[in-house]
Amino acid sequence: MSEQKVDVVVFDIGGVLLDWNPDYLYAELIPDEQQRRHFLTAVTTPDWNMRQDAGRPWAEAVEELTALHPEHAEWIAAYDTGWVKMVKGLFTDTVEVLAELQAQGVPTYALTNFSGEKWEIAKETFPILDTFTGEIVSGHEQVVKPDEKIYRLLVDRFALDPARTFFTDDVQRNVDGARAAGLDAELFTSAADLRTHLRDRGLPLKP
């Protein structure tokens, strides 16, 4: 085993541990693919959703967007009330990596762009998300990745050494933001690759 180069491991959630995709809900609500794509890209835009990740209450978000698109009121409301149906489940192979790290006594943290309201629901629905040593949730902090402030919050709040803190995220700009803040970070592509990255840093994981 090579020398251990990191002390803690930090996980993004959506796309890494949690299989979240609005299509899982809206494929039922809007069967026509072209109509569904238009709704999810031009009405409930990624920027609109990101504002909830940055702390805007869902009730306010739904009210504002419904005023702009009253003809889509029911579909807009479903983005809030049907949120759990957007989650297919956990990526079990990544969960296995997380559980193995925890069993080895390696501190694990969550650093996620996530609505504070929905994060509490996610933890109730998937209890593994409530097992981290600590968490930084953008909706609670009102700052989102890749803003350097959110990485500084992680490091300062939990007294971490950035150079010995490994972070993985499925979005390259978030990885770049972590690296700019001094963290050891890699793009998440698969649980197998994550396992390799961690073993390369000397963590005691199975092949």
Q: Is 201 strand, coil or helix?
A: coil
Q: Does 136 map to a domain? A: yes
**Is the model's pTM score more than 0.85?**
yes
Q: Are residues 26 and 12 in the same domain?
A: no
Q: Are residues 111 and 126 in the same domain?
A: yes
Q: Are residues 73 and 158 in the same domain?
A: no
Full residue range of the structural domain in which residue 110 is found? 8-17+91-200
Number of domains in the chain: 2
Q: What is the mean pLDDT of each run of 10 residues along the chain (207 residues)?
A: 87 98 97 97 97 97 98 98 97 98 97 98 97 98 98 98 98 98 98 97 92
Q: Does 123 map to a domain? A: yes
What confidence score (pLDDT) does residue 207 get? 84
Q: Are residues 106 and 173 in the same domain?
A: yes
Q: Does 168 map to a domain? A: yes
Q: Does 164 map to a domain? A: yes
Q: Does 171 map to a domain? A: yes
Q: Are residues 51 and 136 in the same domain?
A: no
What confidence score (pLDDT) does residue 166 get? 98
Q: Are residues 49 and 141 in the same domain?
A: no
Range list of β-strands (E), 12-54: 18-20
Q: Are residues 101 and 170 in the same domain?
A: yes
CA distance 30 to 159: 47
Q: In angstroms, what is the C-alpha Rg of the chain? A: 18
Residue that is last in its domain, among 32, 48, 83: 83
What confidence score (pLDDT) does residue 2 get? 66
What confidence score (pLDDT) does residue 3 get? 86
Q: Does 2 map to a domain? A: no
Exposure string (b/e) for 138-174, b if CB count within 10 Å is 16 or more?
bbebebbbbbeebbebbbeebebebeebbbbbebeeb
Look up residue 86 and give its DSSP letter: G
